[in-house]
Amino acid sequence: MSKYPEKVIEICKLLDEKKASEITVCDVSKSKDFVKFFIVATLDSTAHIRETVDYLMQNTSGGDFSFWQREGFNMSEWVVLDYYDVFVHLFTKEERNHYSFDKLVSGEASCLSYKRIVADINKQQKKLQSQKGKNKENSQK
């Protein structure tokens, strides 16, 4: 249905539950050999980042959520969680702006906000439901 794997959508959903802002998904598969997606999110503070990392770690174990490592946890203003083909970058607003991470990534990737992805998925689901309804009507005639 979506060009984004369930793993990506689920991680974004978990970030949204923890009140992350500016959640962005970047498809970097054309420019990177080892990773397909970056998920970038802004959190209010280093404590918020640590809490969110813990929440992600608790809710992404097993299945498609193979976890490799995390970087920056002690520093906590920029933490990277490595899920092999998905890297999750968690920033404080100041760090995200300081490194201009979005500008760096946008040159080599197509990026969309999580809100836009959810809207697109919902639109696709409505379209499918409408088509199913029409098919059902036609089969009853």
The pLDDT assigned to 2 comes to 63
Residues 6+ away with beta carbon under 8 Å from 72 = 78, 79, 80
The pLDDT assigned to 100 comes to 87
pLDDT in tens, the chain (141 residues): 468 889 999 999 999 999 999 999 999 988 877 889 999 999 999 999 999 999 998 898 776 677 777 777 666 899 999 988 999 999 999 999 998 888 878 777 788 999 999 998 889 888 888 877 666 666 665
The pLDDT assigned to 103 comes to 82
Residues 6+ away with beta carbon under 8 Å from 37 = 4, 5, 8, 25, 26, 27, 28, 29, 85, 86, 87
The pLDDT assigned to 42 comes to 97
Which pair of structure tokens corresponds to residue 126?
Answer: 């409505």
What's the CA dihedral at 72, 73, 78, 80 to 10 degrees? 70
The pLDDT assigned to 115 comes to 94
- Sorted by where each begins, the domain ranges of the chain are 6-114
Strand, helix or coil at 54? helix
Which pair of structure tokens corresponds to residue 70?
Answer: 């995390």
Q: How many secondary structure helices (H) and strands (E) does the chain include? A: 5, 6
The pLDDT assigned to 137 comes to 63
Would you say 89 and 40 are in contact if contact means Cβ atoms under 8 Å apart? yes
Domain covering 6-114, topology: Beta Polymerase; domain 2 (3.30.460)
The pLDDT assigned to 32 comes to 76
The pLDDT assigned to 138 comes to 64
- Its pTM surpasses 0.75: yes
